A and B are shown apart, each in its own frame.
Chain A
Amino acid sequence: MLQLALILLMIGLGLYGLATSRHLIKSIIFLNVVEASVILFFLRLFYISEGGVPILPSLGAEPVDPIPQALMITTIVIGASVTALALMMSIKIYHQYGTLDWKILLNKEDNQ
């Protein structure tokens, strides 16, 4: 229960960082924080103490639920894709505007 609360707190921290950070790279980092804590949340929810790996034969131990693990592989792959694209975009934005500050970037957008 305490672990779930801590993981939820981590998601909240990530969202707070996404909302308040002024640097583009920091935004990407907080996006990854949210993603990692969502993965942790799912895996913790279906965790059985002393459960076995979901690979047959399970050698006596009761295997854990394989479904959240399969779902989380999808999340990890998509997270990696999104991060790669976002980082490349931030490189391009830096080359174009010379800054990665959200406020300055938004001002430049307004002036055009």
Chain B
Amino acid sequence: MKEIKVLGTGCTKCKNTVTVIEQVAADKNIAINLEKIEDPAKIMTYAVMSTPAVVVNGKVVHKGSVPSADDVATWL
């Protein structure tokens, strides 16, 4: 099961990112372990400066915007 983390300090875009990922995973019937990280100290450890960012299995795959459903599909 893929470990997916959404990094963001709690703005609308970050919430939308979580929604998109949940949606795509549900559509494709893939079980994922999705976690939202809002603690700035933890976000800092990923060296990300524009949020929302998406981390898949410990690797930053996207940052700075809400990903498209197509993008999300390639990560799952």
The finding on whether chains A and B are genuine partners in a shared complex, rather than unrelated, reads no
Interface residues of B (CB under 8 A from A): none
